[in-house]
């Protein structure tokens, strides 16, 4: 791949997993008024936003409260902040907004709570920054849309994959017209037996809580296609099943009796030992006696109600067709996107992890980059990314991808700047609002219905409460 200059801002220095007090900001650097933020849901995902407020954006933002029912998780984040912030139960969300004069609530609670939390925050008089997915079903979409119409307040969606340099590069290629009018897209996403398996250990394994992977995970991917094409989905057909994880598949493959959880069970590549990660131990293992939530369930235990193999066909308003597949038990992780146009074709291939390797005890190595000579150096499937563009009757050329550092290829740092400082003028249209969130989940919601009925589903028939064609 051709090297190109770094064009994305450098992220803040990563913090260690163990809690630590944030360094004091110089008084001269603080403006008279900073926007006041509260966080609803202090699990693993909240850390990105908390660290952004403590670090690069401390001059424009301050944390003033937690909305979190588990005291151990709130304690961990208090230690990270270096102060004991007021904490509120979910039932007291409105009181938190009023008493702490909250301007914006960052919502990182479980997916099935998003609609309730977002709508109540808006009605209480604050804006919202919400992690994907916006919500998990049509009722949730209607509730949020109605609350926005009632209050006129703002909802920001955090689709960080839009900001990843490789994905913005593909957007630029399509928008340039070099491959003509897009006729079809093929999008294949492979989740490996570390990342993919993790969805089957935690609350995401229950569709009532996550909407399944086509809502929780794939809303990222459907948003990318919507954004790449500047178009909206109109009809969806889907097929999928649980074919690898879960107790019935384990029985068919003769896996035998398995422990109910991963902690303390060495030598099992599908086990997650929470004691091996100080952050996970504090946020979940040491917190589970408060609410009974077990973070390291066996992926082959009963109770899995989501699919692990899915295929989706989507028709777009202007005529393009998307074929999409998601597999959650691949031996490698990454994705391939093919965009066909009337003048040529673009192909993006990304290898995020070339293989899942085992350590001497038979446990999966979570960070292969820490293993000398590991998958990163694999000559057959090296980690990396490549964007090819080929016009009709011409040879293929490699389109340069700007070098990014940090999470999601450098995308998180730019996203967080837009979230906390307001979006800058962007010809690529990367900042996302609630309507983008509705468009993204509409595909997964329709796909879930299609898998139940065996029939194609028109997005307009879902009753999402919003006009997806609106600008």
pLDDT in tens, 33-65: 899 999 999 999 999 999 999 999 999 999 999
Q: How far is Cα 305 from Cα 373, in angstroms, rounded to an integer?
A: 38
Q: What is the pLDDT of residues 199-254, one digit of tens each?
A: 999 999 999 999 999 999 999 999 999 999 999 999 999 999 999 999 999 999 99
Confidence of residue 6 (pLDDT cuts 50, 70, 90): very low
Q: What is the structure's pLDDT at 28?
A: 42
Is 40 part of any domain? yes
Strand-pair partners of 388: 347, 398
Q: Work out whether strand 309-316 and strand 233-241 pair parallel, antiparallel, or are unpaired.
A: antiparallel
Is the alpha carbon torsion for 398, 402, 403, 404 positive or negative?
negative
The reply to whether 453 falls in a domain is no
Coil, helix or strand at residue 19:
coil
The rounded distance, in Å, linking the Cα atoms of 185 and 188 is 10
84 located within any domain? yes
CA nearest neighbour of 113 among 59, 153, 67? 67
User: What is the distance between the alpha carbons of residues 412 and 164, in angstroms, rounded to a whole number?
Assistant: 8
Mean pLDDT value of segment 271-281? 95
With respect to residue 448, please indicate whether it lies within any of the assigned structural domains.
Answer: no
Q: What is the pLDDT of residues 89-128, one digit of tens each?
A: 999 999 999 999 999 999 999 999 999 999 999 999 999 9
pLDDT of 363 reads: 79
Q: What does the alpha-carbon distance between residue 349 and residue 133 come to, in Å, rounded to a whole number? A: 24
User: Into how many domains does the chain fold?
Assistant: 1
Domain annotation covers residue 42: yes
**Can you read off the two tokens belonging to residue 326?**
């998601």
Rounded to whole angstroms, what are the CA distances from 52 to 19, 86, 131?
A: 15, 19, 15
The pLDDT mean for the chain works out to 91
In a domain, residue 126? The reply is yes
- For residue 350, the surrounding DSSP H or E stretch is strand 344-353
Top-ranked range on mean pLDDT: pick from 13-27, 253-267, 361-375, 455-469: 455-469
d(CA 213, CA 72): 28
Q: 85: domain CATH number?
A: 3.40.50.720
The two beta strands, 321-330 and 309-316, are: antiparallel
Domain range spanning residue 32? 27-159
Q: How confident is the model at residue 424 (pLDDT cuts 50, 70, 90)?
A: confident
């Amino acid at each position: 791949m051709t090297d190109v200059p770094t064009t994305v801002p450098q992220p803040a220095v990563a913090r260690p997993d163990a809690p630590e007090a944030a360094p004091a900001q110089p008084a001269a650097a603080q403006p008279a008024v900073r926007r006041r933020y509260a966080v609803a849901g202090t699990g693993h995902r909240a850390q990105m936003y908390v660290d952004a407020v403590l670090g690069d954006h401390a001059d424009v933002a301050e944390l003033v409260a937690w909305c979190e029912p588990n005291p151990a998780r709130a304690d961990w984040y208090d230690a990270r902040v270096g102060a004991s912030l007021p904490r509120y139960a979910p039932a007291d969300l409105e009181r938190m907004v009023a008493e702490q004069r909250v301007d914006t609530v960052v919502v990182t609670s479980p997916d099935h709570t998003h609609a309730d939390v977002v709508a109540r925050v808006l009605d209480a008089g604050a804006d919202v920054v919400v992690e994907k997915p916006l919500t998990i079903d049509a009722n949730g979409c209607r509730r949020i849309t109605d609350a926005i119409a009632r209050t006129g307040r703002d909802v920001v969606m955090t689709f960080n994959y839009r900001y990843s340099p490789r994905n913005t590069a593909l957007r630029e290629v399509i928008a340039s017209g070099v491959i003509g009018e897009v006729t079809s897209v093929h999008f294949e996403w492979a989740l490996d037996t570390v990342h993919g398996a993790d969805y089957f250990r935690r609350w995401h394994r229950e569709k009532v809580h996550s909407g399944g992977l086509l809502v929780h995970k794939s809303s990222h991917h459907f948003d990318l296609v919507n954004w790449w094409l500047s178009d909206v989905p109109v009809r969806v057909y889907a097929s999928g099943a649980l074919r690898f994880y879960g107790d019935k598949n384990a029985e068919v493959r003769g896996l035998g009796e398995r422990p109910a959880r991963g902690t303390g069970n060495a030598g099992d590549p599908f086990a997650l030992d929470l004691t091996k990660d100080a952050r996970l131990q504090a946020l979940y293992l040491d917190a589970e006696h408060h609410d009974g939530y077990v973070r390291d369930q066996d992926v082959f235990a009963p109770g899995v109600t989501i699919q692990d193999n899915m295929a989706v066909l989507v028709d777009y308003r202007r005529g393009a067709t998307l074929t999409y597949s998601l597999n959650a038990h691949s031996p490698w992780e990454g994705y391939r996107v093919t965009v066909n146009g009337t003048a040529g074709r673009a192909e993006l291939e990304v290898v995020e992890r070339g293989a899942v390797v085992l350590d001497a005890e038979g446990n999966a190595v979570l960070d292969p980059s820490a293993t000398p000579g590991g998958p990163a150096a694999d000559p057959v499937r090296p980690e990396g990314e490549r964007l090819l563009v080929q016009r009709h009757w011409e040879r293929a050329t490699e389109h340069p991808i700007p070098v990014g550092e940090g999470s999601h290829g450098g995308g998180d740092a730019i996203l967080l700047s837009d979230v906390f400082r307001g979006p800058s003028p962007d010809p690529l249209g990367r900042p996302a609002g609630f309507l983008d969130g509705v468009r993204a989940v509409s595909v997964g919601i329709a796909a879930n219905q299609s898998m139940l009925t065996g029939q194609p589903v028109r997005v307009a028939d879902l009753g999402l409460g919003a006009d997806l064609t609106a600008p």
